[in-house]
Structure 1
Amino acid sequence: MNDFDFEVYAPNFHSFTFKVHTGIDKNLQTISCDRKWILDTYNPIVEQLGDFPRDTIKLREETPKNTPFSLLDYRKNARLFDSDNGNLESNKPRRKLLVYPQQFDDSYSLSLDLFIPETPETDKINREKIKQFNPNNCFQIDTELGQTFLITAFLEENNSQNYEKIANYCLHELLSISLEEIETKLYRQGEIFDSNILEYGYPKEDEFHAVVVFFTDKSNSEKLEEVYWELPSLFLYHHKIINAYADSRLDYHKLDNQVAKIENLVSSIKKQDNTKNSQLSELELDNYKDTLKELLNLSLDYSQTLRNLQYYQNTIAINSHNYQIKLNKIQTISNNDLDFFARLIDKEWITLQEQIKADLSYFNQGNIILNRGIETIRGLIEIDQAKSDRLR
């Protein structure tokens, strides 16, 4: 398979990167991120690309009332730059770079589209040159909220049967991820605008997200271009959903461990409760008090973690609704049902909510056991105190 080679035409490499700029994290700490994050992310990428002008974008200072809005200090939403064709030593084809930064209610979005314009005989690249689109992995940004990679290109008819294999190799070369790992990340495939589309990254298991679309007709690519400006918000909601679910799994395991501790402590109460009518010894009383302290400490942490789980369920519900609204808008613009993306709502987003709902039902039972354990120990201590008072 290593000798597998292919050619794609007029490739576009899109990167949609997201960052929370205001809010509260899961540890109840305030989040505050300056708009400078856009420049700090964008400038190193341009520097690595090497054939685009640097320090060319300025950010607006004012904040419009309605979001989302472009962060560029221009009347245009985005800026388009041409590569420096005078650098003949670079051996790079003529490329363009579209820059589209936005601010949402609580997040930033930096959308970049690096592409070779459609031109006869000069827009063709082979597998080896795909790496030039992401030198030193400069497009891969470490951000908690997430990043979506979108590759679009034209394939000749004789290559259309190998589109899955070609898609895997494109991501392998572009992102420097092993071919085996890319193949395991392939989540599903289908059609969009009469073109093949493949999506990578399982929503329940992986925060990685990449999409590859192969066109065979120019009119199909134009349909995607019509809705391009709506894609950042659609992918933003996607990442908010899968991030909330990933965080819920961390709290799920935390609660599961806490339930085990609660059951052990409650079991220890039953073993200690052999006094019946006799008075507790000083050692037994101290053991009960220590157990009560542990349960009270667990109770606070358990309640907070349970609340987090409810928060993640609500977050998924809200962003699933936002995803649906945005998809409806894209469907209207493109006059297409976009069933490939619509299926996510019914197949995944609802399933994630139902999973957390089931978790909450289970762990609420643990809360009942915890409270009963606390009440039992308090009762035993109060009874022992009453016995002591009678003796005195």
Structure 2
Amino acid sequence: MNELVYPTLDLFLYDLKEALNATDEVTRNNQEIFTKKLPKDVQIIDRDIESEYLELISPSRKDFEQDKELDGYYYPVRLNDTYGLQISCSVINKNEPQSVKEFSHLKSEIEQRLNQQPITLGQAWILSGWLPENSMQNYEEIAQDCYKYFSPNRNWQRDFQGEANFCGGKIFQLWQPQNEPTDSSNRLYLENTPILIAIYPNAEIAQKAAEFYTDWMGLFSYVSKFNWAYAQSRLIKKNIFGYYKKVESDRQKISLQHRQSLGHQLTASKQSLDHIQQDIKQYSSDLLGLAFQKQIIDINLTNYQTRLEIIRQKLDGDNQLEFLNKFVDLVNKKYLVQIDKDSENMKLGFQLLQDNINTVRSRIELAKAERDRNFQEFIAVVGAGVAGVNFASADKNCEPIFGKTSLFCKTPVLFSLLVFIIAAGLTWLIRRKWK
């Protein structure tokens, strides 16, 4: 069984403090989600200043309560618009080797301390420890064992991304999704959550490597942000497809409505067109949202590369962290390319919808014009009939035509109705002929 001295597990988690156009209520709710991950007696001091790295409590760390088996602390910070929290948990014995099975126990302990609060942006883990004196254990075999007990259902060969020398020890990187995607859910699917396994030859080198935790805090925040932004872009894409289908469905309803009476057709078509306009508006808004997520990825990719360079400069020449560039390749070759393709396709779809809707709108305008023309025709015909009735309303106008004893002359209503029909009919025939 592989063993390490002072096995330590660190969780770096990130929550959004405030977003663009977020209300004060949303910002307060974000802060509440974050602070509930801390012990109840901890009060954060979040000054209203812009800062790349602001420690939120004084002193900067809150140690775990007295525990005979575990040692650990909370370290909350704010990174501009993002809250970051490091929860570190270790086996308290720094002298005797411990089984790497302890990582399973440490993980359960940290997860319990989150108080069932969600992690809104992302997370990363670092597993670390140093070798027993005169140990002949293989670094990679130890790392594989650590990962097996940390994530029993995961596969080392599939998740492994690379290794490098680091501060005189070895560091291994793995990726795994934070949660599984589901087609029926709008949960964010955050892929490629980083996990680092660091193994050092002795306590002195492990202590030296711990000085980089603030750098890891910053580096992982950028990973979380561009992972989160890409996940948001997938939800936006899904929403846009939904709006496209709804617009197409309403457009087809309008086509079917043309088989109905003109009055009912116009009323139903106007309702469908109103629904379409709302969906088109949301479609257009989401297209902008897709471009906005790409900007978030671009900015945080640049910040990631800058922070990675800072870490390299702090290290001596024997350290190689090229495997951390895999995130850069992933973002450039997948995230940004995919969003560009989606944006292009969605814009073409938007143009197609606009063209189709303009055709539908023209058809409705023609139907409306036809209705107005028919109404004008009806008014003209009725007006002619009424004028004829007024002209022939007197009895003297009836007698020369039908005779004094005629039923029409004895019943003025019948005579007026006959005159109305004749006048209206002649008007209709004349207007029809001259169209």
**Where on the TM-score scale, by shorter chain, does this alignment land: which range?**
0.7 to 0.9
CA distance in 2: counterparts of 1:252 and 1:184, whole angstroms: 31
Structure index of larger Rg: 2
Q: Quick one: which amino acid aligns to residue 372 of structure 1?
A: D
Residue aligning to 1:233 = 218
Residue 81 of structure 1, CA deviation:
4.8
Instruction: Give the letter for the 2:162 counterpart.
Output: Q
Distance 1:67 1:61 in 2: 13
Do structure 1's residue 377 and structure 2's residue 360 form an aligned pair?
yes
Are 1:259 and 2:244 counterparts?
Answer: yes
Q: Indicate if the aligned counterparts of 2:11 and 2:86 stay in contact, CA closer than 8 A.
A: yes
In 2, are the aligned partners of 1:13 and 1:152 still within 8 Å (CA)? Answer: yes
Counterpart pick for 1:295 among 269, 273, 276: 276
Cα distance, 1:16 vs structure 2: 1.1
Verify the 8 A CA contact 1:147 1:208 in the aligned structure 2. no
User: Are residue 151 (structure 1) and residue 127 (structure 2) matched?
Assistant: yes
Alignment of 1:122-161 (within 5 A): 122-133=95-106, 134-135=108-109, 137-140=111-114, 142-155=118-131, 156-161=135-140
DSSP 3-state at the match of 2:352: helix
Asked if 1:111 is matched to 2:90, the reply is no
**How many pairs are equivalent?**
355
* Structure 1 residue 35: Cα displacement: 5.9
- Tell me how far 1:42 sits from its aligned partner: 2.6
Partner of 1:217: 201
Distance 1:357 1:327, change over 3 A: same
| 1-structure distance, mates of 2:365, 2:338 | 41
Q: Among residues 164, 170, 178, which one is paired with 1:191 in the alignment?
A: 164
Query: Is the alpha carbon distance of 1:97 and 1:25 closer, same or farther for their aligned partners in structure 2, counting shifts above 3 Å?
Result: farther
Indicate the SS of the match to 1:32.
helix
The whole-number CA distance in structure 2 between the counterparts of 1:239 and 1:154 is 28
Structure 1: any 5+ residue segments left out of the alignment? 45-54, 173-178
Report what 2:262 is aligned to: 281
Matching residue of 1:10: 6
Choose 109-118 or 309-318, whichever is displaced more: 109-118
What are the within-5 Å matches in structure 2 for residues 1-392 of structure 1? 5-24=1-20, 30-33=26-29, 40-43=36-39, 55=41, 59-60=44-45, 62-63=47-48, 66-74=51-59, 78-79=60-61, 81=63, 84=66, 90=68, 92=69, 96-116=71-91, 119=94, 122-133=95-106, 134-135=108-109, 137-140=111-114, 142-155=118-131, 156-172=135-151, 179-181=152-154, 186-193=159-166, 195-202=170-177, 206-207=190-191, 209-218=193-202, 221=206, 224-267=209-252, 281-335=262-316, 336=319, 338-391=321-374, 392=376
Please give the secondary structure, in 2, of the residue aligned with 1:147. strand
Name which of structure 1's ranges 138-147 and 7-16 shifts more when overlaid on structure 2.
138-147
Q: CA separation in 1, counterparts of 2:206 and 2:112?
A: 26
TM-score, L = length of structure 1: 0.77
RCO (CA 8 Å, sep 6+): is it higher in 1 or 2?
Answer: 1
1:175 maps to which residue? none
TM, length-normalised to structure 2? 0.70
- Shift of residue 147 of structure 1? 2.1
